[in-house]
A and B are shown apart, each in its own frame.
Chain A
Amino acid sequence: MTYQISDTRVRSPRGPDIRATLARTAQRARGIFADYGLLLAFFAGWHVASVTGLLNPAVFPPLDRIGQALWNGIASGRLVGDIGISLQRAGLAFFAAVALGIPLGLFMGQIRAVERALDPILQLFRQTSALALYPVFILLLGLGEASKVFVIFWATLFPILLATIGGVKEVDAKLIEMARTFGAARLTTFRRVVLPASVPAIFVGLRLSATTALLLLIAAEMIGANKGLGFQVMNAQYNFQIPLMFAAIFLLAGLGLAANWVLVLLQRRLCRWNTARH
Chain B
Amino acid sequence: MTLVQTQAKGEVTIRDLTKSFPLDGETLTVLKGINLDIRGGESLAIVGASGSGKTTLLRVLAGLEEPDTGDVLTDGAPVHGLGRERAVIFQEPRLLPWLTVLDNVAFGLEVQGVPKPEAAERARRYIRLVGLAEFEAAWPRQLSGGMAQRVGIARALTVQPEILLLDEPLGALDAMTKMTMQEELTRIWHEEKVTMVLVTHDLEEAIFLADRVLVLPGTKGDAIRLIDVDLPRPRDRNDTGFVGYRRQLMAEFGLH
Contacts and interface: CB of A to CB of B under 8 A. Distances in A.
A178 interface: yes
Interface stretch (A22-30, A131-139, A146-154, A181-189): A181-189
Interface stretch (A1-9, A45-53, A225-233): A1-9
Interface of A: 1-3, 5-6, 174-175, 177-185, 188-189, 192-193, 196-197, 199, 271, 273-274, 276, 278
A179 B87 CA distance: 11
Given A3-B136, A6-B142, A273-B97, 17 more contacts: A3-B134, A3-B137, A5-B138, A174-B90, A174-B94, A177-B64, A180-B64, A181-B88, A182-B112, A183-B111, A189-B111, A192-B96, A192-B107, A192-B110, A271-B98, A274-B98, A276-B139
- Which label, helix, strand, loop or mixed, suits the secondary structure of the A interface? helix
Contacts of B84: 183
Contact of A193 (B90, B96, B112): B96
A273 to B, nearest CB: 4
A276 B108 CA distance: 24
B62 interface: yes
A2 B62 CA distance: 37
Interface residues of B, number: 29
Interface of B: 62, 64, 82-84, 87-88, 90, 92, 94, 96-99, 107-108, 110-112, 134-142, 159
Contacts of B83: 183
B142 A182 contact: no
Nearest to B94: A178
A1 B135 CA distance: 9
A192 B87 contact: no
Contacts of A182: 87, 107-108, 111-112, 159
Contacts of A271: 98
Given A193-B96, A273-B98, A180 B82 contact: yes
Nearest to B142: A5
Nearest to A177: B64
What are the 7 tightest A-B residue pairs by CB atom distance, in nearest-first order?
A: A184-B111, A182-B108, A178-B94, A273-B98, A181-B88, A196-B98, A273-B139
B136 A178 contact: no
Given A180-B82, A181-B82, A183-B111, A175 B141 contact: no
Contacts of B111: 179, 182-185, 188-189, 192
28 contacts: A2-B137, A5-B135, A5-B138, A6-B142, A174-B90, A175-B94, A175-B96, A177-B94, A178-B88, A178-B94, A180-B64, A181-B62, A181-B64, A181-B82, A182-B107, A182-B108, A182-B159, A185-B111, A192-B107, A192-B110, A192-B111, A197-B96, A197-B98, A199-B98, A273-B141, A274-B98, A276-B142, A278-B142
